Chains A and B, each alone.
Chain A
């Protein structure tokens, strides 16, 4: 009953959730974003430097300024938070979170591989890394120090436990285009993540549902983006991630085959997030509005179940979603102000 083995398997929910709840209390509220929109960039840097991002702003202020400082500080802060949480968890909780955070490993792998193939120097690539996943800064630097791109792929596969199909590697060697490898990683990530969640309890089932809805949103985003570029049919289906909740292969094919965005709108009608994207679909037909609508839906989904099961993986994932959202919102405000966007446009882009 008190065996170490059993405890390791289950995970330290009480400890991790208490830490995460304390961290969540420090996240920014809606009114803070409105306040930030009226500030200048140095004011924003100082403001976030006084509210949770002190360490990162202080460490990076000597090297960057303006938008760059804000972007690097926010990402670095998020990476520190996520890694901190990951290191503080054990058992199945750790496994689920590690699988969830694998998306940042994929992000870093993409940064390293693309950086190398474009001939960037290691220092510049290092600046764009976000070590928020299983691979820490040291592991990523080791990856970066490898001689060839094939070595990087092999070393990443070993470190992250991914087996790349040989034909993808040889195709990459021939074309030098890593997009197929990246698509494979994305699909593999969701497959591993869904498999790492044991759906025997209600909270884990909710988490699984949440991830499957995320897959739906990603697929719709992919379909609409490709449609905007004039790509339809089979070509689109290559990029569809299996495992979605509402969008099965049939519906995905239907959406992919629709000639225009408006034609696809009818097929989207039965989906849960249709109400959030309806306005953008009907009136403006803007991809930006649709994507922002889907993100808002996704965040709302996380909010609906975040209070349901206090001793489960849900409050932790909920915090991660909100932290990532906060970081994205700060970056949107900073980038928007820097490029002189209208405040209303920035407001529309924010996910609150």
Chain B
């Protein structure tokens, strides 16, 4: 039972941060593509800004790993 709850928690940590990152990337990506349409040299900057929200998922992943391997052990 406890292990099941830990697994659900880990899943939520990754899933919800994934949704959050996607929500943030929606506008950043659209803006980056818009800027690149005008000036193709902005690809590098656009790419960096685009992946910044991904860090949220990494936090979620760390929390999930801690939950499964530390709490679950």
Residues in chain A within 8 A of chain B (CB atoms): 12-19, 21-23, 88, 311
Contacts and interface: CB of A to CB of B under 8 A. Distances in A.
Contact of A15 (B34, B39, B42): B34
Contacts of A22: 34-35, 38-39, 42
Size class of the contact patch on chain B: 10 to 19
Contact of B27 (A21, A88, A311): A311
B35 A19 contact: yes
18 contacts: A12-B30, A13-B27, A14-B28, A14-B31, A15-B33, A18-B30, A18-B31, A18-B32, A18-B33, A18-B38, A19-B35, A19-B37, A19-B38, A21-B35, A22-B34, A22-B38, A88-B34, A311-B27
Contacts of B31: 14-15, 17-18
Contacts of B42: 22
Contacts of A15: 30-31, 33-34
Dominant secondary structure of chain B at its interface with chain A = helix
A22 to B, nearest CB: 4
A19 B38 CA distance: 6
Nearest to B35: A18
A23 B42 CA distance: 13
A200 B45 CA distance: 34
B38 to A, nearest CB: 4
B56 to A, nearest CB: 18
Contacts of B33: 15, 18
Given A18-B31, A22-B34, A311-B27, 8 more contacts: A14-B27, A14-B34, A17-B31, A17-B34, A18-B30, A18-B32, A19-B35, A23-B38
B68 to A, nearest CB: 29
Interface in B16-36: 26-28, 30-35
Nearest to A23: B38
